[in-house]
């Protein structure tokens, strides 16, 4: 039976997250205009603490749903109950730890007032952690549209609820308490989902198997999360809140990366674990990689070329010092074109991921601290990217060996080369526009013009590349992939995680 390509199956998720992103993207733009740099720096510090906690506290239980629920073996209620119960307990413990560490955190960030946000910061960490299985559970059960709609509605409530306290003059505390209220609503939604799936139900034998899969990956996340945010913690410990605001805005993650990477990698993991999924694993990996690369490569090139327009357009000229940091940080989007983590989880390589993340943390610490010492904030983000690139290359090699593929077959090299050429060619008009419009009073208008010029050049090169069909057909095929996947024979079921 033919099945939809990954991009088409992830379509509802992309639409919903895209719509929600439009709202969420405007939040930091509003904050930099309502808050001074010091207050904005405090906001970034609170958010860094809360999100670092929730990413580590899931312990792989949320991600395990993508592995177990697609099997549809009648045990879905048990797996969901066990995940929700576990992340709730871990979230509560983490929140308590955040509260106890409030004064130590304030000293580390050289921001005494940070301790005053301890209660909402701790509750935010709890609600973020306890509700993480909501959308993944729906997606893993095949309810793609419902998962997308839930994510969209949740983001609308979060953004609107957080804006209201700011406009009413309640400041950052009101802002964070609104976030907590949003988290409570998500907790209620999780309870409703659990009841609808036939829970609560715990099967201790299944739970042991779930933990055997999840904990190695969860332990790996204990290394991955500090690794990803170590440069922020390192810089935050050496500068004040205002300078931290400059650095954090330079490291601003444009939502398009997560908007594309998360749904495509999630669908990839589900598809690899479906019956017969292993029979065309390399094809699925090619499909996911190319669908990501065809957007993220030109996006990265455009942002590097238009960085001097992007920062003042979104955050005002007050943050111009963030431009060189942004141009380096945005290069990380290229690495996101490889859905490595999702593929390794689908292959049961959680113990290998634990080892890889451990060594990546050590490499990141060495490169970031050395870069910060010798080259300041720019050296910190550069060191982070160097370590990330080295380890992700090693992880890709592990996937290659697990799939029995050769390097020349592991990636769609010809298509990627064409995308890279088109991406670089599109930078020419952007550089010209940015050079003459940087110091102008309307950087946003210049940014739109640069983006439009880039898009015309990039899409034209893709469309008129030699191939079958009309230029429009070739463009659609490059952006969205083939309509169907090839017919494959049945493949063995996923094997349990094994030692690296």
- Give the number of other Cβ atoms within 10 Å of residue 311's Cβ: 26
Task: Classify residue 369: in a domain, yes or no.
Answer: yes
Cα pseudo-dihedral 326, 25, 343, 4, rounded to 10: -130
- Per residue in 271-284, pLDDT (tens digit) is 887 766 666 788 88
Tokens of 185: 């609503």
Tokens of 234: 């390192």
Task: Classify residue 486: in a domain, yes or no.
Answer: no
pLDDT above 90: residue 261: no
CA–CA gap between residue 182 and residue 329 (Å, rounded): 30
- Per residue in 105-120, pLDDT (tens digit) is 999 998 999 999 999 9
CA–CA gap between residue 387 and residue 369 (Å, rounded): 12
**112 and 240 in contact (C-beta within 8 Å)?**
no
Task: Classify residue 498: in a domain, yes or no.
Answer: no
Q: Positive or negative, the Cα torsion across 386, 387, 392, 394?
A: positive
pLDDT above 90: residue 162: no
E strand map for 14-61: none
**342 and 265 in contact (C-beta within 8 Å)?**
yes
DSSP result, 168-211: TT-HHHHHHHHHHHHHHHHHHHHHHHHHHTT-----HHHHHHHH
Task: Classify residue 262: in a domain, yes or no.
Answer: yes
DSSP state at residue 5: -
117 is in which domain, residue-wise? 6-480
Task: Classify residue 497: in a domain, yes or no.
Answer: no
- Per residue in 311-338, pLDDT (tens digit) is 999 888 889 999 999 999 999 999 999 9
pTM, whole model, 2 decimals?
Answer: 0.75
Q: How many domains does the chain have?
A: 1
Half-sphere exposure of 385 (CA within 13 A, CB side): 18
Task: Classify residue 492: in a domain, yes or no.
Answer: no
Task: Classify residue 1: in a domain, yes or no.
Answer: no
């Amino acid at each position: 039976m033919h099945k939809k390509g990954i991009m088409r199956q992830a379509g509802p998720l992309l639409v919903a997250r895209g719509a929600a992103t439009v709202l969420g993207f405007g939040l930091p733009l509003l904050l930099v205009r309502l808050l001074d740099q010091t207050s904005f720096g405090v906001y970034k510090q609170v958010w860094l603490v809360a999100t670092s906690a929730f990413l580590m506290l899931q312990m792989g239980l949320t991600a395990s749903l993508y592995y177990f629920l697609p099997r549809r073996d009648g045990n879905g209620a048990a797996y969901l109950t066990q995940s929700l119960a576990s992340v709730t307990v871990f979230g509560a413990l983490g929140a308590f730890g955040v509260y106890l560490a409030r004064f130590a955190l304030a000293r580390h960030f050289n921001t005494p007032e940070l301790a005053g946000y301890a209660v909402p910061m701790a509750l935010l960490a709890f609600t973020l952690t306890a509700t993480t299985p909501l959308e993944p559970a729906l997606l893993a059960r095949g309810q793609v549209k419902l998962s997308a709609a839930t994510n969209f509605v949740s983001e609308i409530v979060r953004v609107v609820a957080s804006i209201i306290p700011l406009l009413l003059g309640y400041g950052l505390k009101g802002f964070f308490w609104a976030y907590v209220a949003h988290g409570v609503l998500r907790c209620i939604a999780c309870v409703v989902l659990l009841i609808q799936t036939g829970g609560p139900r715990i099967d201790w034998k299944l739970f042991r198997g779930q933990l055997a899969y999840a904990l190695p990956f969860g332990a790996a996340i204990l290394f991955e999360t500090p690794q990803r945010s170590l440069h922020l913690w390192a810089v935050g410990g050496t500068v004040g809140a205002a300078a931290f605001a400059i650095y954090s805005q330079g490291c601003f993650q444009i939502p398009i990366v997560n908007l594309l990477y998360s749904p495509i990698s999630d669908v990839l993991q589900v598809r690899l674990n479906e019956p017969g999924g292993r029979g065309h694993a390399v094809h699925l990996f090619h499909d996911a990689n190319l669908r990501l690369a065809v957007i993220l490569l030109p996006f990265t090139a455009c942002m590097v070329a238009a960085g001097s327009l992007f920062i003042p357009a979104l955050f005002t000229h007050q943050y111009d010092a963030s431009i060189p940091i942004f141009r380096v940080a945005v290069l990380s989007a290229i690495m996101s074109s490889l859905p490595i983590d999702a593929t390794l989880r689908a292959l049961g390589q959680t113990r290998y991921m634990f080892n890889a993340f451990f060594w990546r943390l050590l490499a990141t610490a060495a490169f970031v601290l050395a870069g910060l010492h010798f080259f300041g904030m720019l050296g910190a983000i550069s060191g982070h990217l160097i370590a990330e690139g080295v380890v992700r290359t090693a992880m890709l090699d592990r996937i290659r060996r697990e799939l029995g593929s050769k390097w020349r077959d592991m990636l769609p090299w010809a298509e990627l080369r064409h995308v890279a050429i088109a991406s670089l060619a599109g930078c020419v008009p952007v550089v010209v526009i940015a050079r003459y419009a940087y110091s102008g009073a309307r950087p946003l208008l210049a940014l739109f013009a640069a983006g439009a010029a880039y898009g015309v050049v990039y899409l034209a090169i893709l469309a008129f590349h030699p191939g079958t069909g009309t230029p429009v057909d070739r463009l659609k095929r490059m952006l969205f992939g083939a309509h169907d996947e090839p017919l494959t024979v049945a493949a063995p079921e996923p094997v349990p995680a094994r030692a690296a």
